Structure 1
């Protein structure tokens, strides 16, 4: 059987949010249970940037693969999936959509595990691709009653709100100040490239769940260190990755709990409606492989998880 070569158009057309969420939920549980080999990412120095690799092996599914992206010129990303039973290359996905939607799906699993139950008011700081895929995926785990979005460029927030209403049927509005997208929201997602905090810790009300996607080291961080002091629960998708950066996290890594452990019931997550929960998204290796495999099955019209059979 020929190798499937898939691009961004195929990802947009064939990968739905519930499928992506199920794939990453399974990978997160597998990581906790020892069924996912997911080392921290590797960086190859290219002089003016890096070529970065994340690799993972899903033992039960009989799959392994990698994702490659660069920090030099912003080239297309690449995800490749092999079967570990026969070594055959199954699929190659190129472009930016798969990685962004995988990150969105991980964020949605965190919301499902840690946010208060029921419909949510979602606040987004940032209006780019990462903010979009968070909203896209969260809709698979929660009813989104309203979306409020703020961005450095107000016109981008307005465009985002219109798109959310038109494509996802979500009640959405753009606001000028990040504080308006943070206060009095059930879930807050920061999806920026900002090296300085885009919110204040005291804007976060008791009971709120926060996901941070952007910079979060001591020298560059989109959320303040004080948010860690206020958080009752700190989650991350990969403890190995969270502890592998050359510079320490702005949030206390020694307090972080693996999201997979919470999903498995091995670690407590939210224990009170008033808890503030914070998810530090760092990118669990192998989740791209899981989502690419699910996309492979969707394209071939197979039940999810059948990729192992070839």
Structure 2
């Protein structure tokens, strides 16, 4: 028997580990664009899932942004059925008219569609093909944008997507490994032209910045960036736990927050409390930024009788009678 190619083995091991943490239940669904990363993930899941007593299916999203996108989605779905994945669905989404730039709008449409399919099929989890290289790109973009610890934590290996676990089994697998795995398995990945379009910041990081860092610092820089994300994520988890407890302590019965209690908190915890409270009030997470939290914090630590802090979604927050109070638009 021929030895299993190391990249194929690494991806299968990563999938097995991800599935091991799931309780028994419905199918696991692979989100697959047809690119090398998600195609290698889908192939590994088709192999691993039945051997662990699970059903595995696939969902491919047609964003309708490129010529031939419907044919590409149909080809992915056909391949998935041929390798034994079931259920298999191809979903067309509308990107135009959604908030944010093209990348953000496509991402929002994609994840909304994935969550809807997962709920309808009773999926135990959704799997995406984000790799170590994607994680390194995410950390660099967050650093450049001054995103702070939340951004530097990168993409979590597991998060909740509208009540469905979203898993990223390949965050410790390199992009080159997924390409090699596809070649070994005889798969022909689709090359998304957006990934090479210099009008997108991530494409510039992928084509120019990461290769320059590797040349200057060696290939270990990719692992180091991904490791940084894991370390920061662990710190974030602790701080988020402290902030959740602090939010409960400073909450006023009328829904506001006690200023004195907020002022006594360490700045790192207080910022998280204010961020979490703003989200509770209905501020859209994607629009809620550092400057909004800073404006809230100024009502606590830099109070000079100033007016309301304005939050996304038309929300306003005032300081009165020793507490922060929200004015929610009707």
Normalised by the shorter chain, which TM-score bucket?
0.3 to 0.5
> More helix by proportion, 1 or 2?
2
The structure whose Rg is larger is 2
TM-score calculated relative to the size of structure 2: 0.33
TM-score calculated relative to the size of structure 1: 0.34
Higher relative contact order (CA 8 A, sep 6+): 1
